[in-house]
Structure 1
Amino acid sequence: MRFNDRLKRALAVAALAVVSSWFGPNLVTPALAQLKGTQTEGTITPIPIAIPVFLGDDAQLAGDVSNVVQADLERSGLFRPLDRASFLEQVRDVNAAPRFPDWRSIQAEALVVGRIVNDGSGKVGAEFRLWDVASGKQLAGQRFSTAGQNWRRIGHLIADSVYERLTGEKGYFDTHIVFVDETGPAEHRIKRLAIMDQDGANVRLLSQGKELVLTPRFSPTNQEITYMSYTNDQPKVFIMNLETGKRELVGDFPGMTFAPRFSPDGQKIVMSLGTPDGRTSIYEMDLRSRQSRRLTEATGIDTSPSYAPDGSQIVFESDRDGSQRLYVMNADGSGAHPISMGDGSYSTPVWSPRGDYIAFTKQSGGQFLIGVMKPDGSGERVLTEGFHNEGPTWAPNGRVLMFFRDPGGATGGPRIFSVDITGFNERKVATPAFGSDPAWSPLLN
C-alpha cells in the first residue's frame, strides 16, 4: 500500500494527522532484540526495559501516554518494565544521548524516551526514541500526531513500534476488540454489541439491547463487522460500518443461521445455514452480487467456518462422522477431511493470520479447553482450560489470543481473557460488565 493510501486510511480510522516519520537511523537490530526463547513453545525471559515518564508541558498527559506504552509492553509478557524509582538519570531532553552507564547499572537492556506536545489546537503530538543500552545505539525514532480525544492511541502506536523493533514481529496494540456486552440477571441477560481498545479502554456500545446479538466478526480490510441478530426469533445477518454506525442487512435467511465471517479480501462472507433437507451446511455469499453458493452437503451440522489467510481453504466444525471434529476443505467446498484426532468435542475453529495455527475450543472431561494445532492437525497444544472457555480470536500478528470464560452460577457471567501462544501469559481484560464473543480487529494504521 502506498504511503498516501496508508495515510488516508489512518485518517479515516482514527483521525491520525501525521503518521510515523523517521528522524533517526534505521539500524540493524542488535543481539538484545532476539527474544530469549521462542514465541510458540516454552517460557520466555522478558526483556528488561526502562520507560521513564515522558517529557511535556502537560505533565498529566505525558505521564498517561508513557503509562499506556509501559502497560502494553508489560502485558505482552515479552518485556519487563523496570521500576521508575530505580532510575539514576532524569531524562531532560529526548534528543540528547542518554547516560548509558546509568541505565546499564540497573540492568536495562532497552530504553524508551519520549515527549508529548499539546499545542492547544485540539491535537496531541509525540516523538520517541528507542535505545539499545548495551551498544548505545538508537534503534528507532518516530513522531505521531492525533486528535486530543485519541491520545491513548499514541501510546499504542509507540508500543507497537518498540515491539516490532525488538521482536522482529508486528505489534498488536493499536487495535480494537468488538464483543458482546452482557448485563442483567442470567435468566434475562441483555446483550449489546460493543467495541473497545485491545486493553479494555474506551468501551463504546454499538447497539441498544433491543435484539439479541451474537458472533460479531471484523472485516480484515476495512472498519466493518458482520454479526448475527435475532428479532422475534428470526435470525438475520448484518454488516455494520463502525465509522458511521449504519448497518446493512446481508440476508434474511429461512431457518437457522450461524457464525458469519469475512473472507480475507473482505468481499465475501462464509456462514452456516439450515437447509430445507434438514441439514446445516456451509454457505458462501459474495457481498457484491449477493449471490450465495452451498459449499458442504454432508449429513449433520457443519458450522463455524473460518478462512485460511490466503483464502484457499476453510476450516470448520462438523459432526458428520458422529463426533464433533474439525475439518479443512478447499475454498470451493472440495476435499473436506478431518484434522482433529484427539478425544473430546472440537468447536469454534479460527485460522491464525499467519497461517501457521488453527485455534479451537475443545470440551473434554468436563473442561473447556482453548488450544491450537497446525493446519494438518499435528502439534495440538492446550493453552488454557477452565469450566467454560470458548470463542478464541487471534491478534493480527498471530501470537496472542482472546477468548471468554463463563464460570456459571446464579451471579456468574462471561469475562474476556487473553493468552499468548505459549500458554504462559494469561490475562483478564477488564470490561464494564460481562463480556463474551470477542473478535480482534486488524491493525488500525
Structure 2
Amino acid sequence: MTQFTRRPVLGLLAGLVAAPKRAFAQQPLRIEINEGVIEPVPYAIPDFVPETGGASEYATGIARVIANNLTGTGLLREIPTSAHVGRITSFDSPVQFSDWRAINARALITGAVRTSGRSLTVKFRLFDVVSGQQLGDGLQLDGSTEAWRRMAHRVSDQVYSRLTGEGGYFDSRVVFIAESGPRNNRRKQVAIMDQDGENVQFLTDGTALAFAPRFSPTGDRILFTSYETGFPRIYLMDIATRRRQVIGDQPGTMTFAPRFSPDGQSVIYSLSVNGRTDLFMLNLASGQRWQLTQTDAIDTAPSFSPDGSRIVFESDRSGTSQIYVMGLQGGTPQRISQGQGRYSTPVWSPRGDLVAFTKQHNGQFHIGVMRTDGSNERLLTASFLDEGPTWSPNGRVIMFTREAAGGDAALMSVDITGRNLRRIPTPGPASDPSWSPLLP
C-alpha cells in the first residue's frame, strides 16, 4: 500500500467569518451515537477545489468517497450538490455560511487537491454551519496519486472523529471468503478489500477450501484455515508477499479457528483429536505450545481481550453451545451467556467493553452484544442466518455474514445500537469477514 504523510495545514485559517451573534448560535456540533441517531445530521460536501490542471478527477473522486463513507454511517445525510446555493472556488476564501444555512446544512466539508506528477496533496476543513465555527485544525495529506482513496478514507476518519468524539474506522481493510460457482461445488477464496468494498484482491487461488481468515493486530498478516491437505490446517500468510506457512500442525489432529494475541506474538486456536476439541496457544517465534482447556467438550472460537489477559470462547460443556470467559493464567472458565438459545462465535470488542456473538433461538439467528460479564445482552439483528461478527477498529460497528433461505451469503454491517443495517458491496457471494485495525 502506498504510504503518505500527514501534517496540519498552517496559515490557511486566517480571515474566516466570525461566529454570528444571533439566533444561529448553538452548542458545538456533536453527534451522540450511544443510543443511535434517528434523524441523520444534514451536511454538505462540495467537490474539492482542483488547484492544478491534473487534479480535477481526484478532487471529485475524493469528495465522493468521503460522502459515501459518512452517509454510510447512518449518522449523517448528504445534501446533494445540485441543491447547493454556495460555491467553493478557493480553499483560502472565507466561507459564506448564510449560503449553507439556506439549504439547512449543519456541517460543511471543504477541501482542495493538488497534483505534481505522481504526487498528490489533499487539504480539508470541517465547519459547524450553524455556529459558523471551524471544528479542529485543517489537515494536509501528501502521497502518491495511487493512494487517493486512502487519503479520502483518512479525511473521513478525521471528520467522523471530530463530529462524534470517537475514533474513525474508514482507513481499514476487510479480509473475507469470496465465494463463486454452483452451491453444491462452491469455490471459496481468501480475499481482501477496503472496508467500503473497493480494491478487492484474492489471496488464495480457490483450489482448496478456505475459511475463517483473521487479521493480525498490525494488519500485515492473516491466519486462515484450509483443507489443502485434506484436513483443516491453520496457515499464516504475509499479505504483502503472499508467503504462507502451516502453524500448530500435529500429526493426527485437526486445527482451526485461530486468532492472534493482541501483541501478535502468539496464536490461540482449536485442536481436535480423538473426538476432543480443546484450546491451545502457540508462540510464533519459539514454537512453544500450551494447552488451555482439557475437557470432553468442544471448545472453539476463542478471542482475546484487548489487554491479552483473558479469552472468550464457545463451548458445549453445559450441554449446548454457550459463551465462556477464562484467564490465560488458568482457573475455571465462567459462563457469561445466560439467555435462551445457543451462543457461538464470540469476539471481544477492541474497546474491551463488549462481546459480540451469534445467537440461535426460535428458528432465527441473531448478531448480539453483551457486557463481558454477560449482562445487558442486546440482539442487533434477526434473520434466517446471521453469523460470525467482527468489530470495526473503533468498536462501534459490527460486520457479519447473512444468508437468506436458499440465497447466497453476503456481508452486512450494523452499528452497536442496532441501527443502520446495510449490505457491504462485494463482487459475489461473501462470508467470514474479519476487520483490520486502522492502517498505519
* 2:108–2:128 contact (8 Å) kept in structure 1: yes
Deviations 1:66-111 (A, max 9, x none): 0000000000111111121221111011122200111122221211
Aligned length: 422
Q: CA deviation at 1:243?
A: 1.5
2:39 counterpart SS class? coil
- Larger deviation: 214-223 or 41-50? 41-50
Conserved? CA contact 1:50–1:112, under 8 Å: yes
Report the 3-state secondary structure (helix = DSSP H, G, I; strand = E; otherwise coil) of the residue aligned with 1:386: coil
CA drift of 1:252 comes to: 2.1
Structure 1 partner of 2:225 = 228
Alignment counterpart, residue 8 of structure 2, candidates 14, 21, 25: 21
Deviation at residue 42 of structure 1 after TM alignment: 4.4
- Mapped partners of 1:104, 1:423: distance in 2: 31
Q: From the superposition, tell whether residues 20 and 44 of structure 1 become closer, same or farther in structure 2 (CA, over 3 Å).
A: farther
Q: Which amino acid aligns with 1:288?
A: A
SS in 2 for 1:178: strand
How far apart, CA to CA, are the structure 1 residues paired with 2:324 and 2:269? Answer: 15
Q: Does 1:427 align with 2:422?
A: yes
Q: How far apart, in 2, do the equivalents of 1:72 and 1:334 lie?
A: 44
Q: Which amino acid aligns with 1:31?
A: Q
Residue 239 (structure 1) aligned with residue 231 (structure 2): no
Paired amino acid for 1:263: S
Contact 1:235–1:252 under 8 Å retained in 2: no
Letter in 1 for 2:263: D
Q: Please give the alpha-carbon distance, in whole angstroms, between the structure 2 residues aligned to 1:340 and 1:116.
A: 51
Q: In the TM superposition, what are the counterparts of 1:313-352 in structure 2 within 5 Å?
A: 313-352=310-349
Identify the residue that residue 59 of structure 1 maps to in structure 2: 56
Residues 269, 280 of structure 2: 8 Å contact kept: yes
Is the CA contact (8 Å cut-off) linking 1:33 and 1:165 kept in structure 2?
no
Partner residue of 2:134 out of 138, 154, 157: 138
Root-mean-square deviation (Å): 1.5
**Match among 157, 161, 167 for residue 158 of structure 2:** 161
Residue 295 of structure 2 corresponds to residue 295 of structure 1 = no
| 1:404 and 2:410 aligned | no
The share of aligned pairs that are identical, in percent, is 46
Q: Deviations over 1:382-425 (max 9, x none)?
A: 1111111111000000000100111242xx22100111111110
Q: 1:34 aligns with which of 30, 41, 48?
A: 30
Instruction: Answer yes or no: is the 8 Å Cα contact 2:398–2:414 preserved in 1.
Output: yes
Change in 2 beyond 3 A, CA 1:169/1:163? same
Alignment of 1:100-139 (within 5 A): 100-119=97-116, 121-139=117-135
Instruction: Indicate conservation of the 8 Å contact 2:33/2:164, yes or no.
Output: no
Structure 2 residue runs of 5 or longer lacking an equivalent are 14-25
TM-score (norm 1): 0.92
TM-score normalized with structure 2 length: 0.93
**For structure 1, which segment, 350-359 or 227-236, has the greater mean C-alpha deviation from structure 2 after superposition?**
227-236
User: C-alpha deviations, 1:127-185, integer Å up to 9, x for none?
Assistant: 11111222322223111122222211111111001011111111100000000000000
For the 8 Å contact 1:38–1:44, the answer to whether it is kept is: no
**Displacement, 1:271?**
0.6
Identify if the C-alpha distance between structure 1 residues 264 and 31 changes in structure 2 by more than 3 Å, giving closer, same or farther.
farther
**Which of residues 16, 29, 39 in structure 2 aligns to 1:45?**
39
| Structure 1 Cα separation of the partners of residues 405 and 255 of structure 2 | 26
Query: What are the equivalent positions in structure 2 for 1:241-390 lying under 5 Å apart?
Result: 241-253=238-250, 254-276=252-274, 278-390=275-387
- Find the aligned partners of 2:152 and 2:370 in 1 and give their Cα distance: 33
Counterpart secondary structure, 1:31: coil
**Whole-Å separation in 2 of the counterparts to 1:367 and 1:80:** 32
In 2: Cα distance, 1:118 partner to 1:125 partner: 6
Q: Which of 413, 418, 421 is residue 413 of structure 2 equivalent to?
A: 418
Distance 2:40 2:217 in 1: 30
Residues 249 and 255 in structure 2, CA contact (< 8 A), matched pair in contact too: no
